[in-house]
Amino acid sequence: MRKEDCYFLGKITRRHGLQGNVYLKLDTDQPEMYNKLESIFVDINGLLVPFFVSRQSWSKGETLIIAFKNSTEALVNQTLGKDVYLPLATLPKLTGNKFYYHEVIGFEIREEDGKTCGTIESINDQTGQHYFLLDLAGKQIVIPIIKDWILELNREEKFIRMSLPEGLMDVFLIPSKRDE
């Protein structure tokens, strides 16, 4: 399995008890989708290694306690602190204006009148307000991801049409190093 064919599910943070169980901290806003994991892929030294889940239970919030089939102490030690992935094919298809962040990288953001704001280079979801980081003619632009601003998501033509407040493009323009 290649990492580009997968999405980040979370991280194995630590052991749970003495029976070979581990805590898997999920990075999702829909933890209920992961009630019945059969297997996961753990990033060990840059390779995605499959691990089969024998049982799981919920801890706090978005944290699962999982046990691996044929678990050994050495196997558990290999997984501690490692990132966990699942295949993209396991995600349900979204329609309308709903999207997964990974699927809109490279999409163009357009204003209501069709004027381009730039192309999505990345998405920051590590802050309270998630945002698109765009490239427009070598300039970086930040556009907050606010669902009420999204008017249209066109997967075929790869663009998102948004209703942006007047002056937003000027406020969120990040000067490049060469402009300073």
Per residue in 142-171, pLDDT (tens digit) is: 999 999 999 999 999 999 999 998 877 766
Q: What is the mean pLDDT of residues 50-62?
A: 89
Q: In a 3-state reduction of DSSP, which class is residue 8? A: strand
pLDDT of residue 32: 85
The reply to whether 130 falls in a domain is yes
Containing structural domain, residue 168 = 101-179
Contact 71, 56 (CB under 8 A): no
CA separation for the pair 121, 98 (Å, rounded):
19
| Range list of β-strands (E), the chain | 6-16, 21-26, 39-44, 47-58, 63-68, 83-87, 108-111, 116-124, 131-136, 139-144, 150-154, 159-162, 173-174
71 and 18 belong to one structural domain? yes
In a domain, 122, yes or no: yes
Instruction: Give the model's confidence band at 26: pLDDT under 50 very low, under 70 low, under 90 confident, else very high.
Output: very high
Q: How many CB atoms lie within 10 A of CB 168?
A: 17
Q: What is the DSSP letter of 75?
A: H
Classify residue 96: in a domain, yes or no.
no
Q: What one-letter code names the amino acid at 69?
A: K
pLDDT single digits (tens) 7-16: 999 999 998 8
Residue 43: name the closest of 70, 11, 17 by CA.
Answer: 11
Assess whether 86 and 58 both reside in one domain. yes
Average pLDDT across the chain, whole number: 88
Same-domain pairing of 80 and 117: no
* 116-124 vs 131-136, strand pairing mode: antiparallel
Give the pLDDT of residue 105: 94
Domain count, the chain: 2
Amino acid, single-letter form, for residue 8: F
What digits encode the pLDDT tens for the residues 33-43? 898 999 999 99
